[in-house]
Chain A
Amino acid sequence: MDKAIAVEMRHITKRFGSVAANNDVSLTIRRHEILALLGENGSGKTTLMNMLSGIYFPDEGEILVNGKPVVIASPRDAFNLGIGMIHQHFKLVDVLTAAENIILGLEGRKDLKAATARIAEICNTYGFEVDPTQKIYDMSVSQKQMVEIVKVLYRGADILILDEPTAVLTPQETEKLFAVLRNMREDGKAIVIITHKMHEVEALSDRVAVLRQGAYIGEMMTKDTNAQEMTNMMVGHAVALNIVRPEPKDPSPRLEIKNLSVRSDDGILKLDDVSFTVNSGEIFGIAGIAGSGQKELLEAISGLQPIEKGDIIFHNPKKDKPVTFFHKSMKRVRELAKEGMFHDKQGKPVSFDGMSMGEIRKRVESGDVLFREDEIMDLRNKTPLEIRSLGIHLSFVPEDRLGMGLVGNMDMTDNMMLRSYRKGPQGFLDRKRPRDLAEQIIRELEVVTPGTSTPVRKLSGGNVQKVLVGREIAYTPKVLMAAYPVRGLDINSSYTIYNLLNKQKENGVAVIYVGEDLDVLLELADRILVLCGGKVSGIVPGRGADKRKIGMMMTHMGGQTDAE
């Protein structure tokens, strides 16, 4: 406790309307120390740190920097006091180089050469791998983050705040970041990291402070505590920290990807000869560094991304099930009959030759027309609408929840309608059924919202995700794809999502789970496909997989052999 105090926040209170985001919080940040600020979503971690970095101004309380009371009214004040914050969303200009971004907005003459030299010096001191002349758009997420950190160091910050810095990094990149942070600690900087990943807190921090619902709960030295105790403090009651993983029940191939290649709009090969099969009743995990082609893969399957080469084959589990007009048009039924796809209950082939439309309809509706075997459908280059009209239930929980999966400004009812609005009376909307669905989701998934008519962007991250996942599950999918479904969610919401996915798996759905937290993938997935630069570097069984090995496979091809 003899380390110099860098910042003292005393009795800080911040209210938004009638909600107290922080209530009488006192916190001490010391030099030569990494402080982990723990708390669930909405517990006020980010708000507290935003007051330190000049984004918000406290309603009550005082802040002392280096023992002197200060007023931090703007980010500039914070910067003058040596406080720098690295946000979750990077604030970099894509078309500029690292060095240009770093000196952007600084006063005085801009000497790029001198700046480049200083940047190189900072990089050497702490072990950053940043090329000052590289353009941001050429950089990986981890590199961009490094640029952000170098930027605040360049500006003379010696109190650094990192808001969930590892959310987008691979295990190797996380290790690199931690090494850099440890170097900075040795150099006497005060570092705060906001996180809710327990194993990172244990690996990196010296001290832990816990917030819950805006209130300060307590702090302790990391070496004196453990994950279970910290979680209990965060949540306020004891939580079980293991994820269940039932054995898949009679898996059969559901989705087959064959030699799939996809190019982005600007001609870059994003997926290169990717092949795999996903079975029903399993959770198929996809691991990889951010931007290794996960997004393109899911979008190609759901018909949002043109395919250059390859096939996406869907096995519709229809064997011995009656044909209905619910998903098939009359035209399609006649086509399939011509191909000999149907038989009746006695097993005799069904032919509609010489029958009128009415007779065919009657025959089909009698339930005596059954599929001979599972329907094989090629989804290659079909639009989402065409996939739907083939009767294929493909659900997709995209990474960008409010920008793609949902419409933030619309209420829950209208968001439910996104999938179903085409049904119902000609021309006009039927809002009753979507509203019922919204109410059902609120009840069953315990969504915290004032009501079905609140815009979804007003909900917290966890609740937004429950709304989205709830809608996609309500669509009774055969394949459910989820991209980073627990990103930014607190522990309780994350477990709700894991349970929902497991329930779908038990119902025989093929679940594809793209994840970033390898610990979770290893506990949840039955099989894990590892992507590296758009190629498959291997598929490993989830049970008993080695995290380090998967990490290697994520960073270079043929990682399996290198790891031996």
Chain B
Amino acid sequence: MRNETKREPLFHITKRSVLPWYKAWGIRGGAIVLALIVCALITTLMTHQNPFEVFATIFKASFSTQRRTWVLFQNIAMLLSVSLAVVPAFRMRFWNLGAEGQMLVGGLATAACMICLRDVFPNWLVIVCMVISSIVAGAVWGVIPALFKAKWNTNETLFTLMMNYVAIQLVSYFIIVWEVPKGAGKIGIINQSSQIGWLPSIGGQKYLLNIIIVALLTVVMYIYLNYSKHGYEISVVGESERTAKYVGIEVNKVIIRTMILSGALCGLTGLLLVGGTDHTLTTSITGGRGFTAVMVAWLAKFNPIWMIATSFLLVFLERGAGDISTNFGLNQSFSDILSGIILFFIIGSEFFINYRVSFRHASKQEGKAHV
């Protein structure tokens, strides 16, 4: 038996009890400031630019012109919309990583209506068909993994992920079917002259409709999750399936119902992208938002109202980082580095919210302070 005397360890990590909200947000705010300082240092080291100029660039990327601000809000709206779609599933601890695919099939259904029905139905009826078909398509894409989960307990994370690739291939196929002009390998703007199936723009602002729809959706989702019986069932199933069964909640029914909702909202986002703003269909139209949404939802602790803030933060930083690399003559990878640093600090700050690190000497003093 060894019996050596050791020194007291340098620091201890202890789990915190609940931190008051202002302290928690103080830590998060501090993390963002630290992240910006590190970004500035790295940028200065590599480009020899004034760090304040770098920050100004980040800010200007979103707010220097009215157009840029509109684009910022459009991007926030789209990201938030997907995040709202995945959040009910996440609250149920059903890891829906298939938002990309569900959005794509929603967009595909929208494009199909715009292309195939333009000569058959009047404009309003085409739009009605677009809305219905995109929602149904997304819901179907979402409910398939849920059915398998309910029936055979398959792993939803892998399943939803795989469904993304199926959706991408499906969209690639139809792009070739509908390509304009033949051999171009892309669809181009659909119904550019007739504008059939284009969602109406409010007050001449092409993005306003999307923003309003998503704002409404946020409020509705918040109420649904926190004040409806469905939302309560989702939470119970997510926290403990055994408790859910014990009180007579039909777990499979809740899983299927919630994934229909989740998929349907992803499909709707696809509609807003294809019918509302882009008026075309590509395999990259989703812009990876289905995955970014995971982060938006987690950072906001699955709270739809906080998700407004987290999606703003992510979009704002992403746009800023993009502009830094172009303005200072750096390539796209540099903006990825900057976004990476910022995210590292934001996610890392959660550790300090949940745990307290006390150093050898500090811990003793703190101990006394409590007496």
Interface of A with B (CB < 8 Å)? 13, 15-18, 57, 59-60, 65-66, 68-71, 73, 77, 80-82, 156, 302-304, 383-385, 388, 396, 398, 400, 403-410, 414, 417-419, 421-422, 427-429, 458
* Contact of A17 with B1 at beta-carbon distance under 8 Å, contacts A59-B364, A396-B246, A403-B242 already known: no
B182 close to chain A: CB less than 8 A = no
Q: Out of B228, B240, B248, which one reaches A407, CB within 8 Å?
A: B240
In the complex, which residues 217-256 of chain B have their Cβ closer than 8 Å to any Cβ of chain A? 227-232, 235-236, 239-240, 242-243, 245-248, 250
Known: A15-B370, A302-B246, A407-B240; 18 extra A-B contacts, CB below 8 A, are A13-B367, A16-B14, A17-B16, A57-B12, A71-B5, A71-B9, A73-B6, A80-B2, A304-B246, A384-B247, A384-B248, A388-B248, A410-B239, A418-B236, A418-B247, A428-B227, A428-B229, A429-B232
Least Cβ–Cβ distance between A457 and chain B, in angstroms: 10
B8 interface residue (CB < 8 Å to A): yes
Q: Which residue of B lies closest to A18 (CB)?
A: B370
| Interchain nearest-CB distance for A10 vs B (Å) | 15
Give A293 to B7 CA distance when docked, in angstroms. Answer: 51
B47 in contact (CB, < 8 A): no
State the CA gap A409–B243 with chains docked (Å): 12
Also in contact, A73 and B9, with CB within 8 A (given A385-B250, A403-B242, A407-B243)? yes
Q: B284 at interface (Cβ–Cβ under 8 A)?
A: no
A422 to B239, CA, bound (A): 18
Minimum CB–CB distance from A467 to chain B (whole Å) comes to: 13
Question: What's the Cα separation between A4 and B227 when bound, in Å?
Answer: 64
Across the interface, B232 reaches (CB within 8 A) one of A69, A73, A77, A417, namely A417
Complex Cα–Cα for A82 and B16 (A): 30
Contact partner of A427 (CB less than 8 A), chosen from B9, B229, B243, B245, is: B229
State whether A383 touches B6 (Cβ < 8 A).
Answer: no
Residues from chain A with a CB closer than 8 A to the CB of B245 are: 304, 384
* Nearest Cβ on chain B to A191's Cβ, whole angstroms: 17
Instruction: Identify the closest chain B residue to A404 (Cβ).
Output: B242
Question: Which B residues are CB-close (under 8 A) to A65?
Answer: 3
CB distance from A442 to the nearest CB of B (A): 19
13 contacts between A and B (CB under 8 A): A13-B367, A15-B367, A71-B5, A302-B246, A304-B245, A388-B248, A404-B242, A405-B246, A410-B236, A428-B227, A429-B227, A429-B228, A429-B232
Among the listed A70, A302, A383, A398, which residue makes an inter-chain contact with B5, where contact means beta carbons less than 8 Å apart? A70
Residue in A15, A82, A410, A421 whose beta carbon sits within 8 Å of that of B229 in the complex: A421
Given contacts A16-B17, A57-B12, A68-B3, A408 and B246 within 8 Å (CB-CB): no
Q: Which single member of B8, B14, B239 contacts A409 (CB below 8 Å)?
A: B239
A41 to B5 Cα, complex, angstroms: 33
Q: Which residues of B contact A419 (CB under 8 A)?
A: 247
B369 shortest CB reach to chain A, Å:
10
Chain B residue numbers with a CB within 8 Å of A13 are: 367
The answer, among A15, A68, A398, A417, for a CB contact under 8 Å with B246, is A398
Residue in B2, B239, B243 with the greatest tally of chain A CB atoms within 10 Å: B243
Does B363 sit at the interface, judged by CB under 8 A? yes
Given known contacts A70-B3, A428-B227, is B9 in contact with A57 (CB within 8 Å)? yes
**Is A427's CB under 8 angstroms from B228's CB?**
yes
What is the bound-complex CA distance between A96 and B319, given in angstroms? 52
In the complex, which residues of chain A have a beta carbon less than 8 angstroms from the beta carbon of B235?
407, 410, 414
Q: Which residues of A lie under 8 Å from residue B231 when comparing CB positions?
A: 429
Complexed CA–CA distance, A515 and B230 (Å): 36
C-alpha gap A110/B77 in the complex (Å): 58
How far does the Cβ of A477 sit from chain B's closest Cβ, in whole Å?
14
How far does the alpha carbon of A404 sit from the alpha carbon of B242 in the complex, in Å? 5
Bound-complex Cα distance A81 to B227 (A): 55
How many Å lie between the Cα of A60 and that of B365 in the bound state? 11
| Complex contact B248–A428 (CB within 8 A) | no
A156's partner among B1, B3, B236 (CB-CB below 8 A) is: B1
Residues in A whose Cβ lies below 8 Å from that of B12: 57
- Cβ contacts under 8 Å, A458 to chain B: 17
Q: Are A403 and B240 in contact (CB under 8 A)?
A: yes
Q: Measuring CB to CB, which residues of chain B are less than 8 angstroms from any residue of chain A?
A: 1-3, 5-9, 12, 14, 16-17, 227-232, 235-236, 239-240, 242-243, 245-248, 250, 363-364, 367, 370
Determine if B243 and A82 form an interchain contact, defined as CB atoms under 8 angstroms apart.
Answer: no
Pick the residue among A156, A405, A421 that contacts B243 (CB under 8 A).
A405
On chain A, the residues within 8 Å of B2 by CB distance are 80-81
Cα–Cα distance between A77 and B7 once the two chains are bound (Å): 12
Bound-complex Cα distance A71 to B8 (A): 6
CA–CA, A17 and B247, complex, Å: 36
B1: A residues at CB distance < 8 A: 80-82, 156
Give the chain B neighbours of A428 by CB distance below 8 A: 227-229
Docked Cα-Cα span, A404 to B236, in Å, equals 10
CB distance from A452 to the nearest CB of B (A): 16
How far is A57 from B13 in the complex, measured between Cα atoms in Å?
Answer: 10
Question: A421, B17: Cβ atoms under 8 Å?
Answer: no
Measured CB to CB, the nearest residue on chain B to A57 is B12
**How far, in whole Å, are A418 and B245 apart by their CA atoms in the complex?**
11
User: Do B229 and A429 touch across chains, with their CB atoms under 8 A apart?
Assistant: yes
Pairs of residues from A and B, 8 with the lowest C-beta to C-beta distance, nearest first: A385-B248, A384-B248, A59-B367, A407-B239, A71-B6, A73-B9, A404-B242, A418-B247
Closest residue of chain A to B10 (Cβ to Cβ) is A73
Q: Are B239 and A408 in contact (CB under 8 A)?
A: yes
Cα separation A156 to B3 with both chains bound (whole Å): 13
CB of B255 to closest CB in A, whole Å: 16
Contact B5 A403 (CB under 8 A): no
| C-alpha gap A414/B239 in the complex (Å) | 12
- Is A77 a contact of B6 with CB atoms below 8 Å? yes
Min CB gap A445→B, angstroms:
21
A16 partner residues in chain B, CB cutoff 8 A: 14, 17
Q: Looking at the assembled complex, report how far the CB atom of B144 sits from the nearest CB atom of chain A, in whole angstroms.
A: 26
> CB-nearest residue of chain B relative to A60?
B367
Residues of B within 8 Å of A400, CB to CB, are 242
Identify the closest chain B residue to A389 (Cβ): B248
Residue of A nearest to B247 (CB): A418
How near does chain B come to A80, taking the closest CB pair, in angstroms? 5
- A68 CA to B232 CA, complexed, in Å: 56
Contact B243 A404 (CB under 8 A): yes
Which of B3, B229, B240 is the one whose CB lies under 8 Å from A422? B229
List chain A residues, Cβ under 8 A from B5.
68-71
| Complex interface: chain B residues within 8 A of A71 (CB) | 5-9
Q: Which of A59, A66, A73, A418 contacts B363 (CB 8 A)?
A: A59
Residues of A within 8 A of B227 (CB): 428-429
Please, which residue of chain A has its CB at the minimum distance from the CB of B3? Answer: A68
Q: Is the CB of B364 within 8 A of A73?
A: no
Residues of A within 8 A of B239 (CB): 407-410
> In the bound complex, what is the Cα–Cα distance between A18 and B17 (angstroms)?
10
Q: How far, in whole Å, are A82 and B2 apart by their CA atoms in the complex?
A: 9
Distance (whole angstroms) from the CB of A524 to the closest CB of chain B: 25
| Residues from chain B with Cβ under 8 Å of A156 in the complex | 1
List residues of chain A with CB within 8 A of the CB of B248. Answer: 303, 383-385, 388
- Inter-chain CA distance A427–B14, complex, in Å, is 42
Assembled-state Cα–Cα distance A409/B18 (Å): 13
Q: Is the CB of A406 within 8 A of B243?
A: yes
Chain A residues within an 8 Å CB radius of B9? 57, 71, 73
Nearest chain A CB to B250's CB is how many angstroms away?
7
Q: Chain B residues with Cβ under 8 A from A388's Cβ?
A: 248
List chain A residues, Cβ under 8 A from B243: 403-407, 418
Q: How close is B302's CB to chain A, nearest CB, in angstroms?
A: 12
A448 to B246, CA, bound (A): 26
Contacts of A302 in B (CB 8 A): 246
Please, which residue of chain A has its CB at the minimum distance from the CB of B236?
A: A407
Q: Which residues of A contact B364 (CB under 8 A)?
A: 59-60
Which listed residue, B14, B232, B246, B367, touches A421 by the CB 8 Å rule? B232
Least CB distance from A398 to B in Å reads 7
Q: Which residues of B contact A18 (CB under 8 A)?
A: 370
**Chain A residues near B3 (CB, 8 Å)?**
65-66, 68, 70, 81
Residues of A within 8 A of B367 (CB): 13, 15, 59-60
Q: Return the chain A residue nearest B231 by Cβ.
A: A429
